[in-house]
Amino acid sequence: MLRIIKYLKRIIFIILLLLGLLYLCTANKTEAADVYTIIRDEVAAYNSDPVQIDWITQAICYTSNLYAVDPLLITAVMETESHFHFTSVSPVGAIGLMQLMPDTARSLGVDPYNPLENVIGGTYYLRLQLDNFASWGEYAVTDAVAAYNAGPQAVIEYGGCPPYNETINYCIKVAEAYNDMLSRFY
């Protein structure tokens, strides 16, 4: 089982790394409006309210700049978490667009029911995980995404993505959404 998990992590990481590098190589050739359009189209695939679509897209771009997190990664996490629904509440109590747990939101000093604070808090929490696992080598982004889902302590205890089906599937869904958006640059 652990061998399979490590293999899946390696595949996810390699895909994210290659696509991230490809994105960086083409970023100078791509106008910011293209990124905005890709994000807007992704949000619109799940949310039909034009005002909410624009608001969510702008919030993603704002927090991306605020915390230096790839806007497509924020979008992929938000899509996987809530499918861009403001009032989404999970069975375990995660709240809003970025599905913040109440204790996590409290520790970040944000109101999870306030949409802007939810996106700011979720993006900041993602930035913390990216920083926490930045030195973990080739699986750093995958481990950060796993930590967003399962908590950083679980990732630390298992030395990488924990062997939880939910977390493995979560990482795969985030990678698929990210890769799908990245492919639209061509």
- Tell me the β-bridge partners of 10: none
- From CA 40, how far away is CA 46, in angstroms rounded? 10
Residue 176 among the catalytic residues: no
C-alpha 64: how far from chain center: 11
Q: Please give the full DSSP string across 26-54, using - where no structure is assigned.
A: HHTTS-HHHHHHHHHHHHHTT---HHHHH
- From CA 74, how far away is CA 129, in angstroms rounded? 13
Q: Please give the full DSSP string across 151-167, using - where no structure is assigned.
A: -HHHHHHHTSS-S-HHH
Q: Which of 42, 79, 81, 117 is catalytic?
A: 81
Distance between start and end Cα atoms, the chain:
37
- From CA 8, how far away is CA 175, in angstroms rounded? 11
Query: What is the set of active-site residues?
Result: 81
